[in-house]
Structure 1
Amino acid sequence: MNQAIRHTWVVAVALLVLILGSLTYVQFFESGRLQANPWNSRNLLQQFSSDRGPILVDGQQIAYSQPSNDQYDYQRVYRDPQLYAPLTGFYSLLNMTGLEQELNPLLNGSSDQLFYDRITQVLSGNQPRGASVELTIDPQLQKLAYDALGNQKGSIVALNPKTGEILAMVSKPSYDPNAIATHDTARAKQAYESLAQNPNNPLFNRAIGGNLYAPGSVFKLIDTAAALESGKYDPNSVLDNPAELKLPGTNATLPNYRFGGCGARTKVDFSFALEQSCNTPFASIAMDLGQDAIADEAKKFGFGEQLSIPLSVTPSIFPKNLNDAQLAQSAIGQFDVRATPLQIAMMSAAIANNGVQMKPNLIKVVRAPDLTPVSTFKPEQLRTSTSQQTANQIRDWMVNVVDKGIAGAAAVPGVKVAGKTGTAELSAQGLNNAWFTGFAPADNPQIAVAIVVENVDVATGVAMTSPTAKRLFEAVLNK
């Protein structure tokens, strides 16, 4: 009898230990995972019952929470949704993206930066609220850039080269995040899946991610910097400019650019080669300097770097293990070279800023619910991409590209404008990605831009890139 009682007590104690152990494990070790579980309806109720902070541009809310008449207390709303969706992303019952995701602790009020504010709100009996986040975006410039792309796919980025502040960041096609932010889960899922399956990839922020772009001839600015910094070339160097360049180890040739004035000369200087965007001189320079020199220069301008602005930026790519033929093609921004428009804008901005590259940033100020600043933007230097002497020389040649070369449509009367065009071939059907990058005024830069338009013929690309740059420059300079 006593033995049976002992066994019963042993089993009871073991069960008690097991229950207490399980509770302890759940409370102390699994609580975070359970809290983050998307199927945790209690967690969803808590999140959507909080007064999430707004995202603002020039003092106007572009994403904000308003009271809702359902089981959730607040509904997230997006103003000018197509214009800003690639930046804000969305906050929904399904998931979150964009700045809504990257700034979530600030927007929902859980950030350590808001600790004392949370304590104050709890002690005063008020519901905790999130911080407000104001962006560096110029709303007029953003709208101008968005409208300039029309119905074409592409992206435009504008920076202040002296500070790194992002003045405009547009990606097309865009989408309406309100359709995904709805509290109707079925409708939200349907809207998201429709966008995710769209072959035009509207959910991509093409300015900083997606499939990236072959940069075409705008990459020649890096070739030029590498050449001058190597000591093997100087501003007076004479470059061979054949109509075609035999690619080593192949039966193929690399042709010169057909739409400029490259065919007029067999010998050129750097200025003419950039003005007319001649291919063969830069391919020859790359093969002469070698893969490491071009790759190192690309790295100095930011290729290969993972950036947070605070949106996550896909690193731009200069390929490795190239043979000479592949290096020649890479030198003109083809083969497997891939870049974001932000990277190309940063490249121009570094040249504009005497060779110093500033960290790009979207956040102007973060304010606690009582409007006290939590953090404010401070310019941050990323690196010295090239010497001031080299940067200034390339700047002068870029001015010639606009004044005497194929980027004349970017010219602003009475202002020195620096620019470089690019055409990245996509197929034998004659379609290209058309580029422009540059800055103004060249002698006191206030804006640097990168523009890319996808899948267009040469005439359409020319008509859309340089003229758009002119309008962006004028919009900033006329303020």
Structure 2
Amino acid sequence: MGILRSRRMAGLFYILFFCFLLMVAHLAVIQLVRGDHYAFKALEQETMSVDLEDYPRGQILDRHLQSLTGETKANRVVVFPGLIPGREAVAVKLAGILNVDPVSLTPFLTGDPCYLPFTLTPAQSAAIRKQNWPGVLVLPVSFRYGAHPLANQVTGYLGHIDSGSELAALNQNSSKEYRLGDWVGKAGLEKYYEPELKATRPLAAARVFIDAAGRPLPGVHVNSREPDPGRDDVVTTIDAGIQRKVEAIMDKKIDKGAVVVMDPHTGDILAMASRPSFDPQPDKLPHYLASSPQGAFLDQCTTLFQPGSVFKIVVAAAALAEGAVTPQSTFTCLGDKDPLVHCWYAPGHGTITFARGFAESCDPTFAQVGLKLGAAKLIKYARLFGMDNQQITGYPVPRDNRQNLQLIAAPHALVNSSIGQGPVLETPVQIAAMLNVIVNNGVYIQPRLVKEIRSSGGRVVKTFPAAPGKRAIPPATAEEMRRLLYLVTTRGTGQAGYVSGYGSAGKTGTAQVDGRGKLNAWFCGYAPVDHPRYVVVVLARGDGVSGGASAAPVFQEIINSLMASK
């Protein structure tokens, strides 16, 4: 009986001791792990505050750690209405300094603490500070968006959580707390990396303490927080300087289309731009959501299009690698009377070598090459060139299942596929990666858009290594293809894409969009020709004349702009 009682006591002791350990562990988590969080929550309950950051989130950065959204700081008037004596008189004098109607200030001086939506000049800032009004301060506020944010379709945009299902999904997939009405990423990198970007607190805040009745106590305290452990930055491969140049040229030359600039040796995307575009600033976004031009939110760099004759790069490389042709092989082109497919050159090229057929983008030549090569081998090489791989390292765009290389083997599809029409669909990013194979001596590298995730303190918390290269074609074939691509810009359809002083090589493409004469014009090329630094893909949609006339000059201007800054 005594032994049994002793065992019960021992068991009870161990249970109580285990519960005590759990309590200590929980207190340790609260104190050491979540201490900052609970301290911040307690501070919120004891104060009135104005966040000195419009959208508390981590930044989306370029490869040199510059903000792609154009993050900036600017002085604003911060008001705590409960501390302002004689608000009507203050409103009149403040309105005079700001050059606004005093009535427009009434909602701000009678409502909750806030900062005013007026940009201040240095003279205005000094004049307001000189008044020394209680409850009125001039403080720097961090703004997520500058005047000219870059790569808008890539970075995406923000919006409110507006449904219970969206709220539940966010709270289920993140350790951070979300509430209805919170600002979250709705598209692009803002959405894909929402859990990493969301901050747990603003960078800085202006606060006043309140008494037990909730009344503000005199004195405003401005606190800049230590680095937020919950807020991370996304570092992309984009070069903001290159992106800015590309977008400026597109705004002049392309109403609708896409441009991709890639480092041919690493697969890193240096610029990725679509037109038309939109302004991601949340106060302007509703206008675009309601009435923007069709496709303003579409990332056309990752959208499928028929590539037209730029796909002949794959066909030519496959035929050369398989020994189906040599540059001197001859074919017959009957122009618009050709039985396989009509040529853009209506009289016909007559007897034409494979090399000249590539330079002149002769469709009958490539229809014959495709038939000689066969669907199975064309599909094999298209896969080796990444023509069925829509993945971009660090950029989890959903796959578009309309892309299906097996359709090349369907009855009567091979001829059209050999000239980049029919079932062949590719994205501009895939076309850039395809051309990289030629520059890289036959090695395919999957494109990369995101390099790493960094904490707000600058520590790298996750990396996205470049994908390993895979052999697609022999080096000798890649070398022969470089000679053919140089012929295009020196003696063929792409002469408008030749870059004097550096040399360039590339391929034109023109794809029919519908039966009403609309054309998508392509040019993909690289420069300098001897030591390539950039692969550039240009797509001018819907109103192009041809790849040589509409897209090649844009390529030339982009390369000239990039090389001028080096």
What is the CA distance between 1:52 and its match in structure 2? 1.8
CA contact (8 A) 1:244 1:280 kept: no
What is the CA distance between 1:379 and its match in structure 2? 3.4
Of residues 61, 83, 103, the one that matches 2:67 is: 61
Match of 1:344 in 2: 431
Match of 1:471 in 2: 557
Of residues 522, 525, 528, the one that matches 1:441 is: 528
Q: 1:427 to 1:311 in 2, by over 3 A?
A: same
Amino acid aligned to 1:433:
N
Q: 1:444 to 1:49 in 2, by over 3 A?
A: closer
TM-score by length of 2: 0.64
Q: Helix, strand or coil: the match of 1:105?
A: helix
Query: Does 2:232 align with 1:145?
Result: no
Counterparts of 1:138 and 1:390 in 2: how far apart (Å)?
31
Residue by residue over 1:12-45, the C-alpha shift from the partner in whole angstroms, topping out at 9 and shown as x without a partner, is xxxxxxxxxxxxxxxxxxxxxxxxxxxxxxxxx9
Amino acid aligned to 2:375:
Q
What is the CA distance between 1:85 and its match in structure 2? 0.9
Q: Helix, strand or coil: the match of 2:437?
A: helix
Of residues 271, 283, 301, the one that matches 1:207 is: 301
What is the CA distance between 1:391 and its match in structure 2? 1.0
Query: Does 2:229 align with 1:128?
Result: yes
Using the TM superposition, name which of 419-428 and 301-310 deviates more: 301-310
Q: Helix, strand or coil: the match of 1:170?
A: strand
TM-score by length of 1: 0.75
Q: 1:126 to 1:356 in 2, by over 3 A?
A: closer
Query: Does 2:323 align with 1:231?
Result: yes
Counterparts of 1:143 and 1:49 in 2: how far apart (Å)?
24
CA contact (8 A) 1:99 1:310 kept: no
Query: Does 2:270 align with 1:163?
Result: no
User: Aligned-pair RMSD on alpha carbons?
Assistant: 3.3
Which protein shows a greater Rg? 2
Query: Does 2:385 align with 1:293?
Result: no
Counterparts of 1:377 and 1:421 in 2: how far apart (Å)?
33
Query: Does 2:265 align with 1:175?
Result: no
CA contact (8 A) 1:86 1:174 kept: yes
Counterparts of 1:403 and 1:373 in 2: how far apart (Å)?
46
Aligned-pair identity in percent equals 30
Match of 1:250 in 2: none
What is the CA distance between 1:213 and its match in structure 2? 1.1
Q: 1:288 to 1:466 in 2, by over 3 A?
A: same
Match of 1:101 in 2: 191
Using the TM superposition, name which of 382-391 and 335-344 deviates more: 382-391
Q: 1:65 to 1:276 in 2, by over 3 A?
A: same
Counterparts of 2:288 and 2:551 in 1: how far apart (Å)?
32
Match of 1:38 in 2: none
CA contact (8 A) 1:401 1:408 kept: yes
What is the CA distance between 1:50 and its match in structure 2? 8.6
Residue by residue over 1:405-462, the C-alpha shift from the partner in whole angstroms, topping out at 9 and shown as x without a partner, is 1211111223231110001112344321000001112332111111100112416x54
Q: 1:227 to 1:93 in 2, by over 3 A?
A: same
CA contact (8 A) 2:519 2:541 kept: yes
Q: 1:66 to 1:318 in 2, by over 3 A?
A: farther
Q: Helix, strand or coil: the match of 1:397?
A: helix
Counterparts of 2:114 and 2:238 in 1: how far apart (Å)?
31
Residue by residue over 1:316-368, the C-alpha shift from the partner in whole angstroms, topping out at 9 and shown as x without a partner, is 54351645532101111111211111011111111111111222112244322
Residue by residue over 1:272-309, the C-alpha shift from the partner in whole angstroms, topping out at 9 and shown as x without a partner, is 01111100011111122221111111111112224033
Of residues 507, 512, 524, the one that matches 1:420 is: 507
Amino acid aligned to 2:360:
Q
CA contact (8 A) 2:256 2:275 kept: yes
What is the CA distance between 1:245 and its match in structure 2? 6.8
Query: Does 2:290 align with 1:194?
Result: yes
Amino acid aligned to 2:447:
P
Using the TM superposition, name which of 424-433 and 349-358 deviates more: 424-433
Query: Does 2:154 align with 1:87?
Result: yes
Of residues 360, 368, 386, the one that matches 1:284 is: 368
Counterparts of 2:417 and 2:520 in 1: how far apart (Å)?
16
CA contact (8 A) 1:169 1:207 kept: yes
Of residues 328, 333, 343, the one that matches 2:415 is: 328
Counterparts of 1:286 and 1:161 in 2: how far apart (Å)?
27
What is the CA distance between 1:82 and its match in structure 2? 5.9
Please, which runs of 5 or more residues in structure 1 have no aligned partner?
1-44, 111-123, 248-252
